[in-house]
Structure 1
Amino acid sequence: MTTRVTLIAPAATPSLRRARFDDGDSLDGAGAAQARAAAGYVPAAGQVLSSPSTRCRETASALGLDAAATAELAGLDVGRWRGRALADVGGAEPAALARWLADPDAAPHGGTSVRELCERVARWLERCGQAGGRTVAVVEPEVVRAVAVHVLDVPGAAFWRLDVPPLTATEVTGRSGRWNLRLGHPLGNASAH
């Protein structure tokens, strides 16, 4: 049985535009407008999900989706770095940030590690593969990265080498244990910047 999973990255937020770790902010006006413009380009699905974050739930709503927020699809918990600018963390804790970006097992912020995220998301994807059908999920960019790491069976260190622009769709097709990946194409006329 073939499974199709379409992962949609959320629209832009002020945190994203300022290179800050997500702090639960809402979509900005431009991001919400771009999501509404892309609403007609999302495929129909038997299962529609989202990461539980504000930006993913709001993107799903702007896309016209009635998505169930799913804890398994939560992004990285960056602990005490939440809401801080990447440059500020790099200035205050350069060794910790460097370790986090280089070592998938590191969690110097007190949250979850990249490896923990990748393992959680891989379990979710494999369950989708057993169920079959089409799933659409509006998810954090790091969830898309985790899916790509799993599907391509690459080392966790490759996680940060994958860019996931806002309002792009990444598709996974196949079944448990045998997946094909189509990376980040823009949704309709939505800007991917």
Structure 2
Amino acid sequence: MTVRVMLVSPATSAALREARFGGDGPLDEAGARHARAAAGAPARADRFLSGPSRRCRETAAELGAGAAVAEVLEELGDWDMGSWRGRRLDEVGVSEPEAVSAWLTDPAAAPHGGESLLALCERVGGWLQSLPDDAGRVLAVTEPAVARAAVVHALALPAEAFWRLDVEPLTLTELSGRAGRWNLRCGRPLGGESG
């Protein structure tokens, strides 16, 4: 049986606009408005999931429009950025340029003390692999890094391909198939928000 995994990236927040690592704040006014406008846009799902971040949970609530409550899964949590959590990329780039360079070029590096890119892809891939063949249609609101890691794992791409994938706010990345054989459809906007 084919499993369909629909990964929706959350709406915008101040932390996203500021390029903060793991900034877990609420949706901003524009993000909440765009998420409400997209309510009902995702396809029907047998299981409705959310990553644990506040913006994922708030986006899931807006998309469900009160009709469905998303189950929060820790496995769908954002990339653990350790000591960089909450800091802006430009700030870390100035204070720790060698560490940022290592992070961007070595998938095994975790100079921040959190997860390496390889560990993120392994965690998200483990979740994908754990879905039973009869899982049906799974809709999950996840941070962009989780969607990117899912694509890397599903398509057996080299980890470095992660950096070449963009996931915009309120877009749908779809994987269909089953463990070991996935097809990809990515970047369909929900409700028209593009950034």
TM-score of the two chains, using structure 2 as the length reference: 0.95
Check the 8 A contact 1:53/1:74 in 2, yes or no.
yes
Q: Which residue is 1:185 aligned to? A: 188
- 1:39-79: per-residue Cα shift (whole Å, max 9, x none)? 02111111111110111001101112411110111111101
Shift of 1:102: 1.1
Check the 8 A contact 1:35/1:190 in 2, yes or no.
no
- 1:117-156: per-residue Cα shift (whole Å, max 9, x none)? 1011111111225343010000010111111101221111
* AA matched with 2:130: R
- 1:64-98: per-residue Cα shift (whole Å, max 9, x none)? 24111101111111011111111000000001011
SS at match of 1:27: coil
Unmatched tracts of structure 1, length 5 or more:
none
- For residues 83 and 194 of structure 2, the distance between their equivalents in structure 1, rounded to whole angstroms, comes to 29
Check the 8 A contact 1:129/1:174 in 2, yes or no.
no
- For residues 58 and 167 of structure 2, the distance between their equivalents in structure 1, rounded to whole angstroms, comes to 18
Question: Which of 92, 95, 117 does residue 92 from structure 1 map onto?
Answer: 95
Q: Which residue is 1:127 aligned to? A: 130
- 1:102-121: per-residue Cα shift (whole Å, max 9, x none)? 11111101111111110111
SS at match of 1:40: coil
Q: Does 1:18 align with 2:18?
A: yes
| Amino-acid identity (%) | 55
SS at match of 2:133: helix
Q: Does 1:103 align with 2:93?
A: no
- For residues 90 and 8 of structure 1, the distance between their equivalents in structure 2, rounded to whole angstroms, comes to 29
Q: Which runs of 4+ in 1 moved over 6 A?
A: none
- For residues 23 and 163 of structure 1, the distance between their equivalents in structure 2, rounded to whole angstroms, comes to 18
Query: After the TM superposition, which residues 8-157 of structure 1 pair with which residues of structure 2 at under 5 Å, given as runs?
Result: 8-64=8-64, 65-157=68-160
Unmatched tracts of structure 2, length 5 or more:
none
Q: Does 1:176 align with 2:179?
A: yes
- For residues 97 and 134 of structure 2, the distance between their equivalents in structure 1, rounded to whole angstroms, comes to 43
RMSD in angstroms over aligned alpha carbons?
Answer: 1.1
Shift of 1:190: 2.8
* AA matched with 1:48: F
- For residues 123 and 49 of structure 2, the distance between their equivalents in structure 1, rounded to whole angstroms, comes to 16
